[in-house]
Structure 1
């Protein structure tokens, strides 16, 4: 008797059983496809949805689906129904115009180390808004230019000490940017070769890399027991503990009459127990916001600057134009400052093109509908996940001719002045837009301008400039590369 015959013999009512299995499967499929007024979209499999079809470039796959289903469509990403927004108009309508209804935050298992606290992971509520507004007000008043320029001094000296020898640009700029956000938070910096500092920077790089390998747990959370998920979660916990150690050390020198950085400002607020807003400044939120700001202020800006140097290496003519503009406006007796920024349109246009051309966050962090919401005639039920495809904005031929071409002049008018392009939204829109936008813009300008003014860069002899092809993890990461720097005459 064959194994199949044994199996059939064990179930005398096999046809009934098979029918039951088919019916259950169809019920699961029907439930998955049932939209209840949601926008149409591609079919998927039970449980996993469309995840098997996304490949390594889901933002590109979703651009293709938008051509078939429209700028607003629905997919099943694992166990979650997700509405995907494509193009500037759809994203602006939902995130900005309807932001009060679409700025919730679902659980993101990758960020479970934040325990649902802080303004990144907290759902849209009074606590989240209070913390965000407090941070925005502090950053608007803080002298972040001085903190950035102090760190640029250290960066330039570090590069000079290399004496033209190759160094890893990715890790060097990560240390610089981490120190800048560390200075904004805590009021001090750390040496690049300090073991604790290197461990901190390495910890968030390792966590980002490992979480990319386990990103499926955000859509299939019941698989969190798998080794790659456990490894990713442990890596994030290491990063979180590193930042908490910094915070604990900082508290030892706390003085209610002094403000060394944003952490002290937060502590001042939390110590005002009779304040109307004191409920929003508890210890758990302080820890989560430190971890959030350190990660967000480090990883996003350093990734953008690493892409930036890669483009400058690949387009020496752009570098020469920046040299010429800096020489004319700033000269060589001082460093560029924020006061020079309005007079350096080509430098600004280049930075904008760097941000556009290989946008580091092609898919937004998930939002959540706070209440039943109507979008483009479709009913989006309360609790539905909403995601924006920002890649579709920056690669839209309606807004950018030859979008894959690196061309800073697209941001300049016929007179060479910087022009505003409405669809340029690298920091998102609405109530969940990046709270560090102003600081990041200033930081990128000061770092790039100082580097290009001071040095000429090239890859080491025998090494090729990598192609500008990224890989999608926590962010859209550039390839690693080394550079050599020679002081400009």
Structure 2
């Protein structure tokens, strides 16, 4: 009897504390104390759960899952305001994540380490041509390899472009990172990229460990962490560490760096306590994965939309050929005279929503936003998919219409509420490179080919369940026909 009373009192105290701490908090779903919405979340497609609650609670609401308070934003002004604050740039900390070096690198680190690494990386990427014409040659080499070695030999045949496209895009960032190139059929590159995909499929393992942290003390083979760590070790052992070791033998620590790894080694020589080997490995991994995964997926959506909307493809082809002709490949210098092409790419990013909610930010202190109090330590989720599908911002949002980004005179009409690369201090570090890649790959393809699906196939724009943070289209084949 006394035990039952004690349990009741504890539960009441939890409820009282929870209610008191919720004063002036954003509205949102309420669940049982401690558990909250942990078992209501679709962890593979979180954006679906967030969007459902958004319809009920509005553009700013709060929920809780896996022991974390989450504030979800779907108003573009609130997202920009929140992410302009210096104390909203942290990332979630976890002993499990540390096993995968996620307390280091560029994407998941926090505080001074993140600030210095981001500044360092941006500075050196710009020196290597990020966003400038000297990067164009590297991209054009991979466009040619993809078009000439993969697409052209299979004209008129149903083919999968996925693997060759991934290698071509990975080559660009890997060239900047290490000065090395893969061939378009390199099995080592595919093994590395496939290992990342397989880690992403182990969502259940990580959810279990977040729900029950005590499981971290159990043998890894019992929790499934051994498989995740084995997959994680593949790129480290087969690609990243060998590249660092090779550079360490030949780098001039006081000379002109050849690539990003040289820059890391030179900085490690100056700041060994900050730029540890673990930090360098994670920084390389972050650049590599971020440099190929979202861009490859966006291009797959772009080709899917071209096959599904032949009238859009014809207009795109006409613009590309009017500006670049047939004798030379399109160039970045052509871009200002191709507004419809840019509008097509913007609409692709809006409809595809490759990164539907970005990566959660964590607040370092309590602050006011939209008339509510956002607590210290809360995760802030920018629900970009809801922004891009908001009828108040985009008329008929489910329709694919590039014209929405053109004015009455056919000139490009940029949109402040289109934010595929996120915004603020943690916006995508490779945005300029990604924009250049999307433009050059798409224009090269439509200049030389007309794309369609195989006879009898029609894509339903469904999303693969194989990745957690990225929306990629379910598999499809396409046919490239000579113009």
Q: Do the two structures share a fold, i.e. TM-score over 0.5?
A: yes
Structure 2 residue corresponding to 1:245, chosen from 242, 245, 260: 242
Cα separation, 1, equivalents of 2:98 and 2:196: 12
Per-residue CA deviation, residues 3-53 of structure 1 (Å, 9 max, x unaligned), is: xxxxxxxxxx4xx44444444444445555553433232112344321322
Q: Is the 8 A contact 1:113 1:240 kept in 2?
A: no
Q: Match of 1:443? A: 437
Aligned residue-pair number: 465
Q: Conserved in 1, the CA contact under 8 Å of 2:102 and 2:109?
A: no
Structure 1 stretches lacking a partner, 5+ long: 1-12
List per-residue Cα deviations over 1:88-145 (Å, max 9, x = no partner). Answer: 111111012x2x02111122645741241112122132x3222212222222232321
Equivalent of 1:476 in 462, 468, 471? 471
The equivalent of 1:8 in structure 2 is none
Give the TM-score of the pair, scaled to structure 2.
0.89
**In the alignment, which of 113, 118, 136 is matched to residue 122 of structure 2?**
136
**SS at 1:382's partner residue?**
coil
Q: Distance in 2 between matches of 1:193 and 1:455?
A: 22
Name 1:84's counterpart in structure 2.
Answer: 72
| Equivalent in the alignment of 1:321 | 315
1:331 aligns with 2:303: no
CA distance in 2, matches of 1:308, 1:328: 21
SS across alignment from 2:480: strand
Provide the TM-score with structure 1 as the length reference.
Answer: 0.88
Equivalent residue number for residue 116 of structure 1: 103
- Aligned twin of 2:258: 260
Deviation, 1:470, is 1.3
Q: In the aligned structure 2, how far is the partner of 1:20 from the partner of 1:68? A: 36
Contact 1:113 1:237 (8 Å CA) reproduced: no
What is the 5 A alignment of 1:53-68? Answer: 53-55=40-42, 57-68=45-56
Deviations 1:221-256 (Å, cap 9, x if unpaired)? 625666455533432333343333333344444344
- Aligned partners of 1:31 and 1:234: how far apart in 2? 42
User: Aligned-pair RMSD on alpha carbons?
Assistant: 2.4
Residue 234 (str. 1) matches residue 226 (str. 2)? no
SS of the residue aligned with 2:478?
Answer: strand
Question: For residue 356 of structure 2, what is the aligned residue in structure 1?
Answer: 362
Given that residues 217 and 229 in structure 1 are in contact (C-alpha distance below 8 angstroms), is that contact kept between their aligned partners in structure 2? no
- Does residue 163 of structure 2 align to residue 171 of structure 1? yes
Describe the shift of the 1:60–1:128 C-alpha distance in structure 2 as closer, same or farther (beyond 3 A). Answer: same
How far did 1:217 drift? 4.8
1:181-220 alignment to 2 at 5 Å? Answer: 181-208=173-200, 210-214=201-205, 216-217=207-208, 219-220=210-211
Q: Could you tell me how far apart the structure 2 residues matched to 1:200 and 1:134 are?
A: 26
Once the two structures are overlaid, the 10-residue window that deviates more, 321-330 or 260-269, is 260-269
* Counterpart-to-counterpart distance in 1, 2:102 and 2:305: 38
Task: Measure the CA separation in 1 of the matches of 2:17 and 2:442.
Answer: 52
> Greater shift after overlay, 40-49 or 402-411?
40-49
Shift of 1:433: 0.7
Which of 28, 40, 44 is the matching residue for 1:41? 28
